Amino acid sequence: MTTIDNEEGIQITLPQVISVPAPRSTRREHPALPIQYLGRSGTTQPCVEAMVTILTSPYRCREITVVFQEKQPGEDSYAVCFVVWDWLGCEITIVPDGFGTHNGTGGWGLAVVLSLIRFYQIPLKEKWVNARQFERIASGHPTARDREHLHQADYWAPSWPFHVGDFGSRLWAQVAYETTQFPYWLIEPELLGAMSQTSNATPAARSFRLHADWKLFSAT
């Protein structure tokens, strides 16, 4: 107890203040997984555009995992999404299931994106998962365990090369953009010198814009 005098000199006894600690939470706190999500689930064109944006960016990703959903009863194709690692300051970027192994637009999108990944020489892993795990990943909500599994490739001889399109010099014509960013480091020095005489772009920009119908060849 604490005793004090008021303005009239009368002693007043104050009640003792008892400090009670806040109850501890029984839930374990986990740091949020740094994930960003590009594209639109089940729609090919936005997902292709998302992958083109990533691959043509001056900020190169570390590697990419192509994720196949195991075939479901009654289905004759596989749903596909992509997980991009360490791009634009984010550990995981998910491009959802706008892709597939069928002959429609999903198969076309898969062939285009796999061809672009090979063109840019980005390390590519392949992962096969069940339907529930695929849904978590493709919707942008992978668990920490899913993330660990995605780092592990499934096959020494992956199947993704069978789905690459044979587009040749028409690869960039498959992209719907009128123009698209293209990195200088992929251009032959002779071609780069010729183009710099007619272009206002500078090498310091690290990229310039090309019409999609131009014929491009990889510098190998």
* 158 touches 126 (CB < 8 A): yes
CB atoms within 10 A of CB 80: 27
- DSSP-derived letter for residue 182 is E
- Return all residues near 62 (Cβ < 8 A) that are at least 6 apart: 85, 86, 87, 123
| pLDDT for res 130 | 94
DSSP state of 44: H
Q: Which of 5-9, 84-88, 107-111 has the lowest mean pLDDT?
A: 5-9
From 94, 58, 62, 55, select the one nearest 204 (Cα to Cα).
58
Residue ranges of the chain assigned to CATH 3.40.1530.10? 35-176
The CATH T-level fold of domain 35-176 is: hypothetical protein tt1805 (3.40.1530)
Tell me the C-alpha to C-alpha distance, in Å, between residue 15 and each of 1, 3, 12. Answer: 6, 9, 10
Instruction: For residue 18, give both structure tokens.
Output: 């008892």
For residue range 126-184, list pLDDT tens digits in order.
999 999 999 999 999 999 999 999 988 887 767 888 888 777 767 767 775 544 454 54
- Asked if residues 68 and 80 have their Cβ atoms less than 8 Å apart, the reply is yes
Instruction: Answer yes or no: is pLDDT of 29 > 80.
Output: no
Beta bridge partners of 64: 84, 124
> Rounded distance, CA 50 to CA 107, Å?
16
Looking up tokens 């668990």, which residue turns up?
A: 143
What pLDDT score does 75 carry?
79
Owner of token pair 């289905």: 75
Please say if the pLDDT value at position 211 is more than 50: no
Inform me whether the pLDDT recorded for 219 exceeds 60: no
Is the pLDDT higher at 155 or at 5?
155
pLDDT-based confidence at 15, cuts 50/70/90? Answer: low
139 contacts: CB under 8 Å, gap ≥ 6: 41, 96
| pLDDT score recorded for residue 154 | 87
Q: What are phi and psi of 124, to 5 degrees?
A: -130, 130
